[in-house]
């Protein structure tokens, strides 16, 4: 990061949703899963919500919304059946009023689904006041008999014309069919938000009751944005705050209620210069007269790259940098088949006991694919007992080379409060500097925040499964919010989860290489198996072996080489990415146009001696560069040399290498240092309950 960090997120209307769970009885947060049981994984194996998912059907705001009191939910207790709610059609997903169970009153809504790719949901538009303030959303949920149930609440804030201002999520995983749990979230909104489209969706096979849905709106005299931000240890931090609401009064800013900060106000914006702060959480308070608002400021270590991540943004797997293919929701008995299928990483669920992971990994063969160990949390706040077990597990396996990394929580902006999950990431980084920390995000709105804590960022693209151009665009946007050394990945749909979409072999290749063209160095598939689902029984499974093989070919050709800045590709609509290997250029071409096209590859110097690594069509050399005929959905990986045909700037064996010219030096691949792995685990640095 730069010495002076300007903290300002990309989306002017984004906000932070914190949430909590008040439950009648504690929920189990970590479950045994490496022995082959996946029913509990990630809350019953459910896919994380994608930032681009939409309800099954579009829902027009009912005309009575403008006539209701702000925050008024029609029939939130379901005493009048499903009056006021929209529900999905079809027999595979059922939503009905149920008098057999209720948190209060005489009825609740029961959501049930027989297939994992069919969602049961309830939706309603709720009026807001059209003023800056805070919206509190709450509901009670309880699983029906038959296993865990996950409810995802999607909150679409709409403007006066029905356009989307922003989207936030709350979620709940229930495992005890005898206990109700309340899920509550508070979201700051601007005056643009005129209504809230609330969708409660059951994810996966099973059922759940929902009751007492409530929304409260409170206008605030002072609301600033962003709600949380990141600074770097030992460096001053320049902050820009936008006022969503501000009284006419002098502004007073303090850090941790001690250090007063001078604020320069310019219309609806204030600029502040924070001093260098120690690592950890800080509070920036803003006061104007009698009103006050607070912003979280997190200070991260200046040096935080895990040793299993290269300087060029590649995951070092088995001490080798390269493009990675990841399969989600596997278990230890699956690893031999996953390895044979060509995957380079498999996500498994951490066992409950801290030493259980060590016992299960010890007998694995060295050639077995390394594992990404996941710690899915159930509640909104990190339970100290759960947190302690996570850190104990990480410390006990800090030198284990069969581990590829740690996934502490999918979508922390959705699943955990910032204060809990961010601190957990800091503590995990302190406990283990070898393995990368991984985060899964629904979209890119908060990549600037969560990217500061993770080494590997996976962007959930499952909701974009049929549009490779949108996937590439989303990933390019994400890449711009990360450091050059951070690993970017794309989570793609394998046929199970909320997206309900399984690509065929050709579409899967198109999605995977479109993700790489967008800047990803990890392609992950959701998911291998879960309750009611096994990817190996689907027609896509055999195709993934060939896809992994071709991805490995590209990885072998480009690993460790920098991006080529002198390459251009036409026409628009052909997705591409290029690397420089000395005087050689390796170019990935993806035809996402839907029609046959001829791609033109050009560079600052002539291209010659072109060959194809993947794709039958041989590239033709033209005076302008290369010409490659691409059928719809085709992927080509071509290699060409700069300079006239038959000539090379590389020395022949036995010849002295010519002195590098400035242009050549800029494009030569940097050497990748051999990683050094510790032989024994490091001494513990923090106790299970320590916080910074």
pLDDT of residue 583: 94
Contacts within 8 Å (CB) and 24+ apart, 39-42: 39/147, 39/148, 39/530, 39/531, 40/148, 40/175, 40/349, 41/329, 41/349, 41/374, 41/376, 41/530, 42/329, 42/349, 42/374, 42/376, 42/410, 42/530
Spatial CA neighbour of 490 closest among 474, 501, 507, 506: 474
pLDDT of residue 640: 95
pLDDT of residue 22: 36
Phi, psi values for residue 420, rounded to 5°: -85, -55
- Cα distances from 685 to residues 215, 221, 437, 452, in angstroms, run 44, 44, 17, 21
How far apart (Å, rounded) are the C-alpha atoms in residues 293 and 501? 43
How far apart (Å, rounded) are the C-alpha atoms in residues 135 and 185? 8
How far apart (Å, rounded) are the C-alpha atoms in residues 688 and 664? 51
pLDDT of residue 411: 57
Q: What angle do CA 226, 282, 430 make, to 5 degrees?
A: 110
Structure tokens at 416: 């955990």
What is the CATH code for 315-558?
3.20.20.80
pLDDT of residue 412: 53
How far apart (Å, rounded) are the C-alpha atoms in residues 353 and 339? 26
Q: What does the H/E/C string look like for 341-406?
A: CCCCEEEEECCCCCCHHHHHHCCCCCCCCCEEEECCCCCCCCCHHHHHHHHHHHHHCCCCCCEEEE
Q: Look up tokens 């508070």; give the residue.
A: 186
pTM summary value: 0.81
How far apart (Å, rounded) are the C-alpha atoms in residues 522 and 509? 14
How far apart (Å, rounded) are the C-alpha atoms in residues 628 and 259? 62
Q: What angle do CA 76, 82, 84 make, to 5 degrees?
A: 65
144 three-state secondary structure: coil
Domain 567-648+662-667 has CATH 2.60.40.1180: yes
- Domain boundaries of the chain, sorted by first residue: 17-219, 244-300, 315-558, 567-648+662-667
Structure tokens at 592: 């996402």
pLDDT of residue 90: 65
Q: Check: CB of residue 43 under 8 Å from CB of residue 29.
A: no
- Cα distances from 14 to residues 53, 121, 193, 285, 422, in angstroms, run 17, 25, 11, 20, 19
Backbone torsion region of residue 192, taken as left when φ is above 0, otherwise alpha when ψ lies between -120 and 50, otherwise beta: alpha
pLDDT of residue 203: 79
Q: How many CA atoms lie within 13 A of 15 on its CB side?
A: 29
What is the CATH code for 17-219?
2.60.120.260
Strands 133-143 and 181-189, sheet pairing: antiparallel
491 three-state secondary structure: strand
Structure tokens at 34: 């490496």
- The residue count for the chain: 692
Block mean pLDDT (10 aa), the chain, length 692? 35 31 30 28 37 44 65 96 88 85 95 79 93 94 80 91 88 81 90 95 87 95 92 92 90 91 90 94 93 94 95 93 95 94 95 86 89 74 77 94 88 54 92 96 84 94 84 95 96 73 89 97 92 87 94 93 95 95 95 93 93 85 93 94 62 41 38 36 30 28
How far apart (Å, rounded) are the C-alpha atoms in residues 235 and 276? 5
Q: Check: CB of residue 215 under 8 Å from CB of residue 75.
A: no
Spatial CA neighbour of 158 closest among 183, 123, 201, 189: 189
How far apart (Å, rounded) are the C-alpha atoms in residues 516 and 506? 16
327 three-state secondary structure: strand
Q: In what helix (H) or strand (E) does residue 510 lie, and over which residues does it extend?
A: helix 505-517
Instruction: Count CB-CB contacts under 10 A for residue 175.
Output: 19
Residues pairing with 7 in the sheet: 239
Q: What is the DSSP string of 93-120?
A: EEEEEETT--SSTT-EEEEEESSTTS-E
Query: Which residues, including other chains, have CB under 8 Å from residue 186's CB and lie 6 or more apart?
Result: 17, 18, 19, 134, 135, 136
The DSSP 8-state label assigned to residue 551 in this structure reads H
The DSSP 8-state label assigned to residue 481 in this structure reads T
Q: In what helix (H) or strand (E) does residue 263 lie, and over which residues does it extend?
A: strand 263-266
Q: Look up tokens 């495992």; give the residue.
A: 175
Judged on CB neighbours under 10 Å (0-12, 13-18, 19+), 487 is buried
How far apart (Å, rounded) are the C-alpha atoms in residues 576 and 609? 20
- Cα distances from 401 to residues 58, 240, 340, in angstroms, run 48, 42, 19
């Amino acid at each position: 990061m730069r010495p002076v960090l300007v903290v300002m997120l990309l989306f002017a209307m984004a906000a932070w949703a914190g949430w909590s769970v008040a439950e009648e009885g504690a929920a189990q947060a970590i479950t045994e899963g490496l022995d082959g049981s996946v029913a509990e994984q990630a809350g019953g194996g459910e896919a994380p919500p994608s930032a681009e998912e939409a309800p099954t059907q579009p829902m027009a705001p009912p005309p009575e919304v403008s006539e209701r009191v702000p925050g008024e939910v029609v029939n939130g207790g379901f005493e009048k059946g499903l009056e006021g709610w929209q529900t999905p059609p079809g027999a595979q997903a059922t939503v009905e009023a149920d008098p057999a169970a209720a948190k209060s009153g005489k009825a609740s809504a029961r959501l049930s689904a027989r297939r994992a790719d069919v969602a049961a949901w309830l939706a309603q538009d709720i009026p807001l006041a059209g003023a800056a303030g805070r919206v509190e959303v709450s509901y009670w949920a309880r699983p029906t008999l038959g296993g865990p149930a996950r409810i995802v609440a999607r909150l679409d804030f709409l403007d006066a014309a029905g356009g989307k201002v922003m989207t936030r999520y709350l979620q709940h995983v229930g495992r005890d069919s005898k206990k109700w749990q309340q899920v509550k979230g508070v979201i700051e909104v601007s005056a643009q938000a005129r209504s809230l489209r609330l969708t409660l969706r059951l994810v996966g096979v099973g059922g759940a009751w929902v009751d007492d849905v409530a929304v409260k709106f409170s206008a605030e005299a002072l609301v600033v944005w962003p709600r949380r931000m990141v600074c770097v240890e030992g460096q001053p931090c320049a902050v820009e705050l936008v006022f969503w609401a501000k009284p006419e009064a002098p502004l007073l800013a303090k850090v941790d209620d001690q250090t007063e900060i001078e604020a320069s106000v310019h219309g609806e914006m204030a600029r502040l210069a924070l001093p260098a702060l120690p690592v950890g959480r800080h509070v920036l308070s803003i006061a104007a007269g009698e009103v006050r608002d607070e912003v979280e400021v997190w200070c991260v270590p200046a040096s935080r790259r895990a040793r299993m991540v290269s300087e060029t943004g590649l995951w070092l797997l088995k001490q080798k940098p390269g493009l990675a293919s990841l399969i989600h929701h596997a278990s230890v008995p699956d690893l031999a088949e996953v390895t044979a299928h060509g995957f380079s990483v498999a996500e498994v669920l951490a066992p409950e006991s801290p030493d259980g992971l060590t016992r299960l990994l010890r007998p694995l063969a060295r050639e077995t694919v390394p594992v990404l160990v996941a710690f899915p949390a159930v509640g909104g706040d990190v339970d100290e007992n759960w947190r302690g077990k996570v850190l104990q597990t990480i410390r006990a396996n800090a030198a284990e080379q069969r581990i590829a990394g740690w996934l502490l929580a999918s979508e922390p902006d959705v699943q955990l409060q910032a204060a809990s999950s961010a601190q957990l990431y800091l503590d995990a980084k302190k406990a283990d500097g070898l393995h990368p920390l991984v985060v899964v995000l629904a979209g890119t709105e908060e990549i600037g925040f969560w990217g500061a804590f993770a080494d590997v960022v996976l962007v959930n693209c499952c909701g974009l499964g049929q549009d490779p151009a949108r996937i590439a665009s989303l990933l390019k946007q994400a890449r711009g919010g990360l450091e050059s050394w951070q690993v970017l990945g794309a989570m793609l749909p394998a046929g199970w989860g909320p997206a309900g979409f399984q690509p065929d072999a050709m579409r899967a290749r198109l999605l995977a290489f479109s993700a790489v063209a967008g800047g990803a160095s990890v392609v992950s598939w959701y998911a291998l198996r879960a309750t009611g689902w096994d990817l190996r029984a689907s027609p896509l499974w055999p195709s993934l072996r060939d896809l992994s093989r071709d991805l490995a070919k590209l990885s072998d050709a480009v690993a460790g080489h920098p991006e080529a800045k002198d390459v251009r590709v036409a026409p628009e609509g052909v997705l591409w990415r290029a690397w420089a290997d000395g005087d050689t250029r390796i170019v990935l071409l993806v035809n996402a146009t839907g029609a046959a096209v001829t791609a033109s590859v050009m560079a600052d110097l002539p291209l010659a001696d072109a060959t194809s690594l993947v794709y039958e069509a041989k590239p033709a050399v033209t005076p302008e560069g290369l010409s490659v005929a691409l059928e719809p959905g085709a992927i080509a990986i071509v290699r060409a040399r700069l300079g006239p045909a038959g000539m090379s700037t590389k020395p022949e064996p036995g010849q002295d290498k010519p002195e590098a010219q400035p242009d050549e030096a800029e494009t030569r691949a940097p050497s990748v240092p051999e990683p050094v792995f510790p032989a024994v685990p490091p001494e513990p640095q923090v106790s299970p309950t320590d916080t910074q």
